[in-house]
Structure 1
């Protein structure tokens, strides 16, 4: 029955399309009889206007978080950059949420920054800065002057993946943007961009080569003319990530980002990949660098003379999927020489990188990408993961899941031929394979309780067995495939 319905819809769409072709172009005629240049609709577009989308869920899991910014003037206000779900805002510390960019031409966001001079001024960088095949492409940089209610396109359309935005602490007209640039192709808007007119125009002050962008940027909290940047040379194709190269290194500027010099004394000579960079909020002459080496190895380096020379502290590196997926390095604003390295499970050092231990993450999703602090609460941690947002009020002993932010990234879908209503299955990024009904007899419609987990892990491509809706095929990472009997859950 389901296949017959789909066939009928397909026939209607094709018929509408060919009828429109047979009739030829239509529209108001110009003075010489030509078609007036105006909005035109193809036959298929017209036919699709007869269909309306409806939300069927699920909303019982969240998704990958790129960045979180807390308003320093009101710590109940958070802005969240989602890897595959736009930008969101809460004004009550996560009790309720507002989507900010549903009407914008992008869904992948990588970083969000609150202007330190005006907390209603929000800068949003689109495109996530990791090296996976599953990440979305951004459409440049956007600016809001009303706390995210409306947005203005500020250019850098060919950046595709923006890593970091910093607004001058005393002059909102000055903005620096770290752009990693395209993942799958060379060129684009790649490098360190500076604006002195509030984003009207941009100048690339650190352009390295066609494959190298800027993956991290930090500013001296006591002198805004001093900035540090980490470059990253990489190229993705379908088969592999070509990670690292001669373009990868560390840079310093002492003139507000107008000119840059390499600061690589003491850094390793081998192939450097993604670099996490952090500056001590308590002593800005101290910086930390987590450096990927030869794709799977790595080390943490420290400088105590503003980048004049670097000392190797340990052989610590992010693991799991690979350093290219993590490597964000954050320095604690509450304790000197305490640093956090984002990883499958966060790695913590309290001695400047000499030794690390694994953060306590009981009852919490793995794969961490962002960490945000509150200025006056050393026990508070706000973490962005592959599974959404988590809060800790006791320095990671316990975690509270922000459960009302449905942002799951779905890879592919499948439907079965169950009667009277068919079921839908979706493979997700690190949030299982999920299944649920297309309709329900319940008066209040489809709810979260109607959805269920079919198989754990990264879901990828599900499939169903024609004529037997009790059998579902689901995948997980590393090439695993399972045949699941939905009557008893056996796989």
Structure 2
């Protein structure tokens, strides 16, 4: 009878359309209870190979979520000793379920509403589920409805999840998911998301290798957006990302993003100016924090992820470590160091494997010998302690050497490897004069090595004007995935270049989206199934697409804004 009542209660309250969105997920597999407000006595432990959230003694743990109404909370609990409270905290007061070996009691603040006897085995995992809908709620354990309640005030239950261990108690929690109900009422007037003005601080653009219609972009204010139609429209994808910044604390500072080449369902993303390392195994639909082992500091920005070919558990993370004012070299307005972190556990723990005098921008793992790793340091709009150029490791990142023979400008903003010959690499160099103490920093180069970096040779570039070689810096390279003879190269806000001979020479082409300041080219992507198709992301400009090999461009930023 109780099951029928609950079914009626939660199917009859609304006649409008309803959908559920996941707003929180935590399985603690990163070894942390990230952003939980937990007292001493709560900790994440390894329980026979499974990370769980364990509470001991009379201590609280409050989830890092906002108060919400119309939610569904699911998870698992294990009682080792005594009793605990599963709390729904409102602005004033709380509801809580007291769960123990003999059953469940339900209270509104200190007033007991119901006491249900039920055998709940100790030292075994049990599933739980909480529903709230307007002024009503329901609670079940192991798919059996235990409590149903409707308050007598008619006010909505608007609460956040918390756990409270009582005296002499020990419990474990795992696999928490919170979903919120979105209600769309029938109405004649409709709002259409326009995305606002173009621009923002775009960084990465990535295309799903198995589906050219699926594209991801990052923006330092707007977070992560995903397109399902080749860049025509975009949807924000930040479920599970809790990093925020800005004067109003609502900017979503997502910076770098990489698709796992072994499994395109897995996406990695990192933040600007804080410890925010996230992984999705659902094509960016849900995210989980994976930053254990990385310092929790505000001067850390993540610049790139690289996944080892054939092994998704091994990931390298390139970083910028911004110097504080008293650390900046004399004569510089600001400067950064660089670091590389590595995980061999899919992000459950990271270790530092390189500390460099310039930020780390691009990392490449040789697919023919995964012990060989390359790292490019520097970028067009950051100063450094000292120019560091390109690093190489032959032992999986344990040791590094600099391989700069032939490189004049040691601000190497990008390196790219030939798609079928891992001894051939291209490098793009140069830095804006306003971010440099070297007077010739804007005199960039495109370089090529055919012996794994032992020597580099400058690639001939045809410039659009006689003096352009004095002020052209190169920022990003992309081998066309549909034709290895074609290579594209961005030159910040000073042009776009193209090679049709496999990167042996470059000629100027266009970057001419109409009536738009296109910004600084920072990322380029192509697709194996779309010849002559190029997409670029730009600082301050937005996202632009060419469908004719860069002869003309169109705006592809509609639907999101920075």
Sort the TM-score into its range (normalised by shorter chain).
0.5 to 0.7
Assess, with a 3 A threshold, how the Cα gap between structure 1 residues 369 and 405 changes in structure 2: closer, same or farther: farther
Offset, 1:374: 0.7
Give 1:129-278 correspondences, 5 Å limit: 137-155=273-291, 156=294, 157-158=296-297, 160-182=300-322, 190-209=338-357, 212-232=358-378, 243-268=383-408, 272-278=410-416
1:291 and 2:465 matched: no
Give 1:317-336 correspondences, 5 Å limit: 327-333=475-481, 334-336=483-485
1:69 and 2:214 matched: no
2:302–2:317 contact (8 Å) kept in structure 1: yes
Q: What is residue 455 of structure 1 aligned with on the other side?
A: none
Assess, with a 3 A threshold, how the Cα gap between structure 1 residues 163 and 104 changes in structure 2: closer, same or farther: same
How many residue pairs get aligned? The number is 339
Offset, 1:372: 0.7
Q: What is residue 68 of structure 2 aligned with on the other side?
A: none
Q: Deviations over 1:346-370 (max 9, x none)?
A: 2223453544313352526522221
1:393 and 2:511 matched: no
Instruction: From 330, 347, 350, give the equivalent of 2:497.
Output: 347
Secondary structure of the residue aligned to 1:298 is coil
1:245–1:272 contact (8 Å) kept in structure 2: no
Any runs of at least 4 consecutive aligned residues in structure 1 with deviations exceeding 4 A, and if so which?
A: 36-39, 55-58, 183-190, 314-320
Give 1:30-109 correspondences, 5 Å limit: 59-63=195-199, 64-101=201-238, 104-106=242-244, 107-109=252-254
Q: What is residue 372 of structure 1 aligned with on the other side?
A: 525
Secondary structure of the residue aligned to 1:229 is strand
Secondary structure of the residue aligned to 1:69 is strand
Which residues of structure 1 form unaligned runs of 5+?
A: 1-35, 40-45, 47-54, 128-136, 235-240, 409-491
Offset, 1:219: 2.5
Offset, 1:112: 0.9
Which residues of structure 2 form unaligned runs of 5+?
A: 1-58, 63-90, 92-190, 245-251, 328-334, 432-437
Assess, with a 3 A threshold, how the Cα gap between structure 1 residues 403 and 149 changes in structure 2: closer, same or farther: closer
Assess, with a 3 A threshold, how the Cα gap between structure 1 residues 75 and 112 changes in structure 2: closer, same or farther: same
TM-score, normalization: structure 1?
0.61
- C-alpha RMSD of matched pairs (Å): 3.6
Offset, 1:143: 1.0
Offset, 1:252: 1.0
Instruction: From 442, 447, 453, give the equivalent of 1:307.
Output: 453
Q: What is residue 281 of structure 1 aligned with on the other side?
A: 419
1:299–1:316 contact (8 Å) kept in structure 2: no
Offset, 1:307: 0.5
Which structure has the larger Rg? 2
Offset, 1:314: 4.6
Distance 2:324 2:193 in 1: 32
Distance 2:232 2:505 in 1: 39
Distance 1:400 1:247 in 2: 36
Give 1:111-126 correspondences, 5 Å limit: 111-126=256-271
Offset, 1:274: 4.5
